[in-house]
Structure 1
Amino acid sequence: MKRGALMSISMLIKAMLNLAALVVFTRILTPQEYGTYSLVITLVLLADAMLFTWLRFGYTRYFSTEYGPRYVKNVIILSIISAFLCLAIVCALRFGEELLPRAWAIGSLWFVVGAVMVGEGIFNLQLVDANNRRREADFLSLSLVKSFGSLFAGWTLVAFGLGVEGVLLGQLVGYGLSILLLLRRLCHFSVGSLLTPDFALMKALLVIGLPMAAMQVLEMIINLGTRTSLITILGSEALSVYTIANDIVQKLIVFLMLTLNTASLPMVVKALESEGDEAARRSLSRNAAILFGLTIPASVGMVLLAPQLTQVLVGEAFRAPVLSILPWFVLIALPKGAVSFYLAHSFYLAKTSHRMIKPMLAITVVGLVIFHIGVTLFGMIGAIGTMISIWSVYGLVVGLRGRREFVLPLPFLEFARALAGTAVMVAAVWPFRAWPGFVGLFGGATVGVAVYALVAIALDLAGTRALVLRALGHQK
């Protein structure tokens, strides 16, 4: 529990810094520049999913086993190979740019993008390593150094007129500073040891990691395809509005789910490996209660306070159009987060992740076609409606199919308690909708958190009553 709290604090600080970046960049970039920036970041995330995510999944899955420490050297070797492969692909894209969609024509910026891709992959591997080793201080220091370095350097370079290039170069500064923290760990490995990989361990990483990575690759293909359609049909300003609304939800709701999952999943894997299926299910039941017990009220609160949220976070040039679509992105985030951070665990824990690929591939192909048609016929509303449909259908498919692999507990009583607490919270927060800006946001959020916490304790949501009594010394 202590470890989970420390990791959650680290992730919270990281989320706040990411929000600060959104606040700054929506105020110093033009709508056209932000549209280009969002497309570039999507390309970066796609490269990370293709070349590095499988390593992170495989490393996390096997770290708690008796062979865990032996995987470190092989993860380093494979990450170096992935980095060189990434740069080779970027060079091919740059010199074959005339064959790419018109929206991807970014010229020499491709080389900066390639460096950012490599930096993103290595940085995320560092975070996973710190999490697997339960080094919360390392996790926090990496997050702070990267986020502060990127934000300050990006803001400075944009102030000197570099635009999107300045933001991306700022990202490189942040990655460079974080990699300096990694060098002390690399010193434990000689060059000779890095030239003698263990191919059996590498194969194990591939077998468990690639299917899970394939899911993220397909998700990133959906993101890239939708953004390419938006910028082609509706223009860069529409893409900017879509991306900012999506980013706010991602950095609040989805990041909350990611934080909880990051802190809890290694413990589920450890329980499965050491104590068996039932111990893992007990851990999963507790995790589900916490995950949805926090996500449901947070999502409803975001919708209630959307006007105040956009006033605080979004630059004036984007504010009105972002506000008009922000609540709908919550409906996209909930099924998406449920799949990524809970339902997909059925396949992950059963080591049958490859069985998720076919349904996701079908939904990706059909979804991109429908999205393009929806945007062409109905504009932004068509785009949003399509995304809600894609993730809702996929969540249903994964939930039903996953029960054949590893049955996940669904604590419906805890969900009902969360809904009851959310209803009370809504009544308490509603008056703050009339308060403008930061005052309304801070007041509504503070009252909402306090009221929901009291109701959660009263209803004993996820065992909170026992935790409070223990903290007060009334229970051992």
Structure 2
Amino acid sequence: MLRHASQYMIASVVAAAFGFISSATFTRLLSPADYGIYIIGVGIAGFVSSILFTWLRFSVMRLQSEGGGRDLRATAFTGYGMSVAAAPLLLFVIPYLAHRGWQEVACAIVLALGIGLVELGQEFMRARFEVREFVAGAVLRTIVSFALCLAAIKLGWGGYGLLTGTALGYYVSAAFSARTIWRTPLAKPDFSELRLFVRLGFVFTITAFVYTFQCSMDRLFLAWHSSEAFSGLYGASADLTRQIIQMPAGSIAAAAFPIAVNSLVQHGTARAREQLQRFGAVLLAVSVPAAVGLALTIPYLAAFLLGPAFRDTAAQIVPMLAIGWLFQCITQYYVHVSFHLAKKPEWSLLQGLASVAINVASIWPLTDAWGLQGTAASFMISEAFGVAVGVVITRFAYPLPSLLGPLARTLLASGLMATAVLVLKQWLSVPGALTFAILAVSGMLVYGLAAIALNICDVRGVLRALRLRIPVAARG
């Protein structure tokens, strides 16, 4: 798992690096209102993608990971064609529901079709453990998207330029990866399998729509309640937070989920629980300090990374967003594994509805009371409630291993890291790139030493194995 996760991490690191560069560049080149157009368009694209393609993506993720020589590619591509054929119908619905112009909605739909094609291919590569090909396509998409977005903005296309460049990046990546994903021989489309896709994917589609709504509600609500500028201010901070928190968590999950499914099918429950225990401990060990560190250092990071108009907002709301996205990662990458292994997606839907209900009930009054901080607080509270509900529900699906021990050790190490950062902040009062680097490196060093002392994720055993392996490699 760790070997595959480290390879997926390459794609995540490149994506994060260009995400930082993009944040620094585009929040300086665009006004909050123009950036808001992009944020809203991406939110609409997420809704469209969840409606059209979730049933395919989750069915492939669950069934192809079982192994056994199953080839579902032609069947899945047939389903993709069916969804694409239905996409134009959304042009008659979304502009009225979202109160957006048809040009913006059209751009969002084109982006959604690209997202669906790329993510479908990625699920096949993950299920077949074609990690290098996955990484190559993801890195190419990141680089091409940034270049095309920058060119579009220079041409004066504003927020629409960001949408266009992002969409083209997905299609370039899909073309590049096609030689790996769709290489012959392909099994013929199996319509009995396609019916199974529909049966399994129906609930997944509703669930994905609910979770997409949960993750986009804050930006879309702000655009409706206040203005595109407020959505842009909030969205820049939310995207930065998501990139930092989800980068390591997503890399670990990309490797762990297919392994867990394969272990369950091929070797039984005991092996699957062993894999899930390791995965959960690693997920906490990486995600918790990332959220804590970001919450403590965001004024220093925003001072040089974001444009001047976006910095104060980031300092105010990122601490709450970091906690919210930490809970979101635990939900998506650990709690939901229980529902996938049990083939009970309806429990995911129930959990998602619980989170959305809390967010819907609280976002308006909290925003009226505390502005953007209230919006972020609503997201954080709803995600915390969702994790609590999800942990309870897993007892009725596929019971997950207890992570109380790993969580306690991780929280203790993160607390020591936070103490060191807070002490240093008293001496480094002027935010900037150098002071952020000092805080980040110091915090990681303290956390690393604490992780070794507490033996988080058996880090001592990993270090011993590396120490034994280095002389052997040198002699070889």
Map 1:147-296 onto structure 2 (within 5 A): 147-185=142-180, 188=183, 197-296=189-288
Task: Write the distance in 2 (CA, Å) between the matches of 1:432 and 1:261.
Answer: 33
Contact 1:62 1:68 (C-alpha < 8 Å) held by counterparts: no
Aligned residue among 444, 447, 452 for 1:449: 444
1:50 corresponds to which residue?
A: 51
2:399 corresponds to which residue?
A: 407
2:139 corresponds to which residue?
A: 144
Q: What is the one-letter code of the residue matched to 2:92?
A: A
1:91 corresponds to which residue?
A: 91
How far residue 141 of structure 1 moved from its aligned partner, in angstroms, is 1.4
How far residue 33 of structure 1 moved from its aligned partner, in angstroms, is 0.7
2:318 corresponds to which residue?
A: 326
Mean CA deviation greater in 353-362 or 464-473 = 353-362
Task: Write the distance in 1 (CA, Å) between the matches of 2:195 and 2:328.
Answer: 30
Task: Write the distance in 2 (CA, Å) between the matches of 1:225 and 1:301.
Answer: 26
1:107 aligns with 2:108: no
Q: CA RMSD in A?
A: 2.3
1:79 corresponds to which residue?
A: 80
TM-score, normalized by length of structure 2? Answer: 0.91
Task: Write the distance in 2 (CA, Å) between the matches of 1:391 and 1:25.
Answer: 29
* Cα deviation digits, residues 417-436 of structure 1 (max 9, x gap): 21222222223333543153
Task: Write the distance in 2 (CA, Å) between the matches of 1:324 and 1:185.
Answer: 45
How far residue 350 of structure 1 moved from its aligned partner, in angstroms, is 0.6
How far residue 160 of structure 1 moved from its aligned partner, in angstroms, is 1.6
Contact 1:8 1:263 (C-alpha < 8 Å) held by counterparts: no
* Cα deviation digits, residues 215-247 of structure 1 (max 9, x gap): 221022234443332122222222122212211
Contact 2:55 2:205 (C-alpha < 8 Å) held by counterparts: yes
Contact 1:233 1:375 (C-alpha < 8 Å) held by counterparts: no
Identity across the alignment (%)? 22
Q: What is the one-letter code of the residue matched to 1:272?
A: L
TM-score, normalized by length of structure 1? Answer: 0.91
1:467 aligns with 2:462: yes
2:16 corresponds to which residue?
A: 15
Mean CA deviation greater in 201-210 or 153-162 = 201-210
Contact 2:223 2:230 (C-alpha < 8 Å) held by counterparts: yes
Q: What is the one-letter code of the residue matched to 1:447?
A: S
Instruction: Give the SS at the match of 1:52.
Output: helix
Query: Structure 1 residues 294, 79: closer, same or farther in 2, change over 3 A?
Result: same
How far residue 133 of structure 1 moved from its aligned partner, in angstroms, is 2.0
Q: What is the one-letter code of the residue matched to 1:91?
A: L
Task: Write the distance in 1 (CA, Å) between the matches of 2:285 and 2:410.
Answer: 5
Query: Structure 1 residues 230, 279: closer, same or farther in 2, change over 3 A?
Result: same
Query: Structure 1 residues 456, 64: closer, same or farther in 2, change over 3 A?
Result: same
Task: Write the distance in 2 (CA, Å) between the matches of 1:419 and 1:364.
Answer: 27
Contact 2:91 2:102 (C-alpha < 8 Å) held by counterparts: no
Query: Structure 1 residues 182, 299: closer, same or farther in 2, change over 3 A?
Result: closer
Aligned residue among 332, 337, 342 for 1:350: 342
Mean CA deviation greater in 288-297 or 64-73 = 64-73
Contact 1:10 1:136 (C-alpha < 8 Å) held by counterparts: no
Query: Structure 1 residues 422, 359: closer, same or farther in 2, change over 3 A?
Result: closer
2:118 corresponds to which residue?
A: 123
Contact 1:73 1:189 (C-alpha < 8 Å) held by counterparts: no
Alignment gaps of 5+ in structure 1: none
Task: Write the distance in 2 (CA, Å) between the matches of 1:289 and 1:140.
Answer: 24
2:432 corresponds to which residue?
A: 437
1:386 corresponds to which residue?
A: 378
Query: Structure 1 residues 309, 352: closer, same or farther in 2, change over 3 A?
Result: same
Task: Write the distance in 1 (CA, Å) between the matches of 2:335 and 2:181.
Answer: 36
Q: What is the one-letter code of the residue matched to 1:470?
A: A
Q: What is the one-letter code of the residue matched to 1:56?
A: R
Query: Structure 1 residues 101, 424: closer, same or farther in 2, change over 3 A?
Result: closer
Mean CA deviation greater in 360-369 or 277-286 = 360-369
How far residue 384 of structure 1 moved from its aligned partner, in angstroms, is 2.4
Query: Structure 1 residues 50, 68: closer, same or farther in 2, change over 3 A?
Result: farther
Give aligned pairs, total.
467
Instruction: Give the SS at the match of 1:312.
Output: helix
Q: What is the one-letter code of the residue matched to 2:289?
A: P
1:374 corresponds to which residue?
A: 366
Instruction: Give the SS at the match of 1:403.
Output: helix
1:315 aligns with 2:307: yes
Contact 1:233 1:376 (C-alpha < 8 Å) held by counterparts: no
